Amino acid sequence: MTAVTPVVTPGEPTSEGVIIAELCQVTKSFGGPLPCLHRVSLQLRRGEFYFLTGSSGSGKSTLLKLLCGQLQPDQGTVRLFGEAVNPRHERRMAQLRRRMGVIFQDFKLLGDRSVAENVAFALLVRGLPKAEIQQRVQTALKLVGLSHKAGAYPQSLSGGEQQRVSIARALVGGPELLLADEPTGNLDPQTSQQILALLHRLHQRGLTVLFTTHDLALTRLVSHRILHLHHGKLESLPHP
Amino acid sequence: MANLSPFPTLDFLIPEVRRSLWRGGWLNGAAVIAVAVTLFIFGWGWQVSQLLSASVESLGNRLEITAYVSPDLPTAKVAKLREELAALPGVADFTWIDRDRAWAELQANLGLKSKQGELDLFETNPLSDEVKIRAQSLEQVAPLANQIAQKEGIESVQYLERALTGLQSVQRVVRGVTLMLVLLLSLTVVALVSAILRLIILVRQPEIEIMTLVGATQTWIYTPLFLQAASLGGGGGLLAWIVGWVSGQQLQQWLAQQTSFRALAGNASLEWSAGLGFFLIVIGVILGLVSTRLALQTTVPMPK
Ligand SMILES: Nc1ncnc2c1ncn2[C@@H]1O[C@H](COP(=O)(O)OP(=O)(O)OP(=O)(O)O)[C@@H](O)[C@H]1O
Ligand SMILES: [Mg+2]
């Protein structure tokens, strides 16, 4: 593998932070012979940056979906911001979701809305005033370098551009926790590094990040904790 | 940012409802027409029922029992009969027409002045004392007439009961049929509209998922749907009223030329009032909301 020069200086990982999200002995199966995740426990501490690696199909996305309440565990509990997640308390769930941003691997953009509307949507459903929404959307699009595409529709964007819209939407609400599922999966190495640098900068300003990738080169660019999924189990890899 | 308005803002609702209506396409039209047909039938049922009420009313004013007193009844008994008749239950109004006065009036009316030397048509007063009694309600007419007929000194009793009760039973049938029809149609409409909404919800499932994941509450997600259904229902009500109003006008014009109708219903109006329009719109809105509730109950998936 070619050596890549780090684009950002590694931050000092501190293990003192409060636990912001947690999986306790979580098992999730999709009916196959082996569960996708088996008794996985994970604690994300406030202010940390975590890489989550693992081969394709190892359950990275599943783990993230469990954390954001998109999926429910078969066994075990999920805790967010110190609170056990109960999908039946949908109001409470919505409030917890407003405190985090999720970058979906499949983007989840609305095809009949422009880029700006897609990003604004996350704020609109929270009832923010129009002026504030507009301002935040502009900032978020600038962050991901898509200001010039604000009026475009997702179908007319490249995969990488769609991905950056998804990133902008995850960030626009000013989340405390960012769950990023392959946020650089569709980007060229250079843009990937820019996005990583962006998330790293936000992390330095206090954002907690869980960053899923199978691009091990990326994990070498910045020195952060690496969690590795293998056969339904979570392992902690040493810093590279 | 965590604790914001539980109810959707207009900034959110107006574009969402517009978008949803736009995407519903012809399904919206189907819903509006279904509601309109139901409410149109309801409206006409209501109008005809009102018309029959008016007819019954106007005949009811003429509703009285006429009893003829036997001319042979001794004067002492006549006074007793008067008292008894007046005391009968269910009597609203009571008029005794003295035979002598009636005879004089009749003669005056007919120009049958009984002057000396002229030919008298009748040598004696051919009339009997007459009692006109109005019952308090239609139901009481027949029993009251029976009671009167059994009094001593009453020769015969006449009343206009049959036509009226006929009219009343027609009114009852119209009401019943309208109600049945409207109930059945309402059920159909609710089933149809909720099926349409279910379809919309299914089509919008990805969008609903995204809304949920970015932190929208169910209230926010589904209020636009309720509003959409309410506006479709209200639109159906309005359409029913407009078509009803036009058809009412047409019918009214035609009936104005029919003398039998004028005789029956007097100046009863077939015009669909603004009040009826408002009522139909409200029912339409309610049908829409009920349909949405039903659609949600059967579609919204619980998280797995
Ligand atoms: N909804 C589902 N129904 C059935 N199986 C599923 C579902 N979601 C995930 N799986 C299975 O669970 C396993 C893990 O999937 P997951 O998407 O979490 O993998 P991943 O690590 O994110 O892979 P990738 O790197 O390709 O994104 C896969 O074998 C997948 O087939
Ligand atoms: Mg994945």
CATH of the domain at A195: 3.40.50.300
Do the Cβ atoms of A191 and A160 come closer than 8 Å? yes
Q: Does A19 or B127 have the greater pLDDT score?
A: A19
Chain A residue with the nearest C-alpha to that of B20: A112
- Rounded Cα gap, residues B268 and B261, in angstroms: 10
For residue B63, the model assigns a pLDDT of 67
Average pLDDT over every residue of A198-227 = 89
Supply B178's token pair.
Answer: 């309208």
Q: Does B254 or A210 have the greater pLDDT score?
A: A210
Domain count, chain A: 1
Which among A68, A72, A126 has the least Cβ separation from residue B1?
Answer: A126
User: Most A CBs within 10 Å: which of B20, B23, B217, as the mutation test of the A interface?
Assistant: B217
From ligand 1's centre to the CA of A65, what distance in Å? Answer: 10
Between positions 64 and 103 of B, the ones with CB within 8 A of A are none
- Rounded Cα gap, residues A157 and A144, in angstroms: 14
Q: Does the global pTM surpass 0.90?
A: no
The verdict on residue A217 lying in a domain is yes
- Rounded Cα gap, residues B294 and B299, in angstroms: 9
| Amino acid letter for position B160 | L
The verdict on residue A213 lying in a domain is yes
Q: Among A26, A62, A212, A213, say which to mutate for ligand 1: greatest number of ligand atoms within 8 Å of CB.
A: A62
For residue B302, the model assigns a pLDDT of 47
Does the beta carbon of B214 lie under 8 angstroms from any beta carbon of chain A?
yes
Q: What angle do CA A80, A86, A89 make, to 5 degrees?
A: 110
Q: Counting Cβ atoms within 10 Å, is residue B42 exposed (0-12), middle (13-18) or buried (19+)?
A: buried
Other CB atoms within 10 A of residue B219 CB: 15
Lowest mean pLDDT among A13-17, A193-197, B148-152, B254-258: A13-17
The verdict on residue A70 lying in a domain is yes
The verdict on residue A94 lying in a domain is yes
Query: What is the three-class DSSP state of A27?
Result: strand
What confidence tens digit (pLDDT) does each residue in A73-109 have? 999 999 999 999 888 888 899 999 999 999 999 899 9
From ligand 1's centre to the CA of A181, what distance in Å? Answer: 12
For ligand 2, a single-atom ion, the residues with CB < 5 A are A 60-61, 105
For residue B301, the model assigns a pLDDT of 57
Map out the domains of chain B with their CATH numbers.
10-59+165-299 (no CATH), 64-159 (3.30.70.3040)
Place of tokens 């459903």: A125
Q: Among A23, A27, A40, A58, say which to mutate for ligand 1: greatest number of ligand atoms within 8 Å of CB.
A: A58
The whole domain housing A36 covers 19-99+175-237
Average of per-residue pLDDT values in chain A: 87
The verdict on residue A108 lying in a domain is no
Ligand 1 contacts CB of residue A59 (under 6 A): yes
For residue B91, the model assigns a pLDDT of 82
Ligand 1 contacts CB of residue A30 (under 6 A): yes
**Quick one: which atom of ligand 1 is closest to the CA of A54?**
21
Does the beta carbon of A94 lie under 8 angstroms from any beta carbon of chain B?
yes
For residue B22, the model assigns a pLDDT of 86
The verdict on residue A116 lying in a domain is no
CA atoms within a 13 Å half-sphere pointing along the CA-CB vector of B138:
18
The verdict on residue A133 lying in a domain is no
The verdict on residue A55 lying in a domain is yes
Which residue owns the Cα nearest ligand 1 atom 6? A30
For residue B121, the model assigns a pLDDT of 61
Supply B124's token pair.
Answer: 């004696």
Give how far B185 is from chain A: nearest CA, Å: 36
Q: What is the DSSP letter of A74?
A: S
Place of tokens 């006074």: B79
For residue B261, the model assigns a pLDDT of 63
**Torsion over CA: A114, A119, A124, A128 (sign):** negative
Confidence of residue A240 (pLDDT cuts 50, 70, 90): low
Other CB atoms within 10 A of residue A2 CB: 5
Do the Cβ atoms of B134 and B93 come closer than 8 Å? yes
* Mean pLDDT, 10 residues at a time, chain B of 304 residues: 68 88 86 92 85 72 77 81 82 82 77 56 74 78 83 82 71 83 86 88 88 90 92 96 93 78 62 91 95 87 46
Q: CB distance A108–B213 less than 8 Å?
A: yes
What is the rounded end-to-end Cα distance, in angstroms, of chain B? 28
